[in-house]
A and B are shown apart, each in its own frame.
Chain A
């Protein structure tokens, strides 16, 4: 093995993450190479220094690299969870009462609410995961928008030539959701349009591309890794919206967007 090869994976070796075969090769190289041995030794020393200073941590201990949660935090969180749980139960109880009281529409509503919450196919799960990854990545660096503008025509023009389809780009009637900008992203191995909206301090990423089908899919919702997602297919486009907004607000956004798409000016 050459020195540069060894040094490029010395960290994996020191961390015990290199394969058995590779580790043996590295050990063989280290036996006769002082330079690489030095690099290796520095890694071990650095690691032991950091880990040495991370032990014996007490909450609030400024003498440790490891920061334990403050003593009051678990109780604080427990209360917050109980409050949230109670609020959710109340919301659900109210919804059930409302549904039960509407005799005529009962069948349609029941089917709609069940299908929108429970049934997720594996392909949808994969897509959901990609949507989440793209959403999180978009907040790092300056990746949120490639075109930063509240004007829908600006953004439509920007997409022109960058995509082989023309996405719906809409300023919403509801002034609470402000058009922020757009970008091109990759989802399901194809380029998609992303519209970015802002609601107070929360961002919504709306991914959209042409449907491979004629069908209309009513809003489906899911909550994953702390994010809320709503997706639908309508007017020839598949749309996925993701945000850390409350689900109710996000669904309001979805409705407002769909309304604009079906009444073009």
Chain B
């Protein structure tokens, strides 16, 4: 009754920002993210009996993540159809030129574009790590992969991001010349 809703609110609703943030980055759309979060909260509410207490954030995030993928299968199956290649081919070794300056210059717009261009599996671990501050172990549980996979995906995600940021900025610099 009212009590269950109240208990659920106390344990889970404080993490609504985390839920929305992840859904927003995975679906890349504000309205879709709202729909997904609402559906995830309903599911979480129904599974509330299986919640063993403690930190509700990873628990809710895991449900949101799963709901995202199920939702995308129903509404955007084409986006999921491209098989994800864990072994990224042709990754350049780190450029010898100092790129730090270029990376520092990246603004929100550039970063958003670069992040949204990442494959889902890379975007997911990066958002959970950099924006939600989850540990490797927590990310492994949410994404349901081994910790080693979390680390290798993070490494590749960051390299890709770096290349994307510095590539774009060099292009813009050249255009200005």
Give A residues with C-beta under 8 Å from B.
Answer: 7-12, 15, 17, 35, 38-39, 41-43, 45-47, 49-51, 53-54, 62-70, 73-74, 76-78, 80-82, 84-85, 89, 132-133, 136-137, 139-142, 144, 201-203, 223-227, 244
Partner of A11, one of B17, B37, B112, B151: B151
B131 near A42 with CB under 8 A, answer no
Task: Encode contact with A along B69-107: 1 for CB under 8 Å, 0 otherwise.
Answer: 110111000001111100000000010101110011011
Is B168 part of the contact surface with A, judged by Cβ < 8 Å? no
Q: Name the interface size band of chain B.
A: 35 or more
B positions within 8 Å CB-CB of A: 1-2, 4-5, 8-9, 13, 16-17, 19-21, 24-25, 30, 33-34, 37-38, 40-47, 49-50, 62-63, 66-67, 69-70, 72-74, 80-84, 94, 96, 98-100, 103-104, 106-108, 111-112, 115, 120-121, 129-131, 135-136, 144, 151, 154-155, 158, 161-162, 165
Separation of A141 and B120 alpha carbons in the complex (Å): 10
| B47-A66 in contact (CB<8A) | no
Residues of chain B within 8 A of A50, CB atoms compared: 111, 130-131
Residues A73 and B37 in contact, CB atoms below 8 Å apart: yes
* CA distance in complex: A142, B135 (Å): 29
Query: How distant is A203 from chain B, measured CB to nearest CB, in Å?
Result: 7
16 A–B pairs (Cβ distance < 8 Å), ordered by A: A38-B94, A41-B100, A42-B99, A50-B111, A50-B131, A67-B24, A70-B20, A77-B16, A85-B4, A136-B70, A140-B69, A140-B84, A142-B83, A224-B50, A225-B50, A226-B66
Main secondary structure of the interface of B (DSSP, over half): helix
Given that A139-B72, A142-B81, A226-B40 are known contacts, is A65 also in contact with B112, CB under 8 Å in the complex? yes
Contacts known (A65-B108, A69-B16, A141-B81); A77 close to B37, Cβ less than 8 A: yes
Q: How far is the CB of A239 from chain B (nearest CB, A)?
A: 21
Closest 6 CB pairs of A and B: A226-B43, A69-B20, A139-B73, A67-B24, A141-B83, A11-B155
By a CB distance below 8 angstroms, the chain A residues around B84 are 140-141
A226→B16 contact, CB < 8 A: no
A45 touching B69, Cβ below 8 Å: no
Q: Known contacts A203-B73, A226-B46; decide if A65 and B158 are in contact (CB<8 Å).
A: no
Q: Report B20 CB to chain A, min CB distance, Å.
A: 4
Contact partners of A136 in chain B: CB under 8 A: 66, 69-70, 144
B20–A39 CB distance below 8 A:
no
- A49 and B106 within 8 A (CB): yes
Known contacts A46-B161, A65-B131, A140-B84, A225 near B5 by CB under 8 Å: no
* 12 new A-B contacts at CB < 8 Å, known A65-B115, A225-B63, A227-B66: A38-B98, A46-B158, A51-B130, A64-B108, A66-B17, A67-B20, A67-B33, A70-B30, A73-B34, A77-B13, A77-B38, A89-B1
CA distance A246 to B13 in the complex (A): 23
With A7-B94, A69-B20, A74-B13: A84-B42 Cβ-Cβ less than 8 Å: yes
* Cβ–Cβ contact B136 & A139, under 8 A: no
- Residues in A with CB closer than 8 Å to B154 are 11, 15
**In the complex the two chains form, is B46's CB within 8 Å of A223's CB?**
yes
Q: Are A53 and B46 in contact, with the CB atoms below 8 A?
A: no
Which of B1, B46, B82 meets A141, CB within 8 Å?
Answer: B82
Contacting residues, chain B, for A224 (C-beta < 8 A): 47, 50
Give the chain A neighbours of B111 by CB distance below 8 A.
Answer: 49-50, 53, 65
Closest to B73 in A: A139
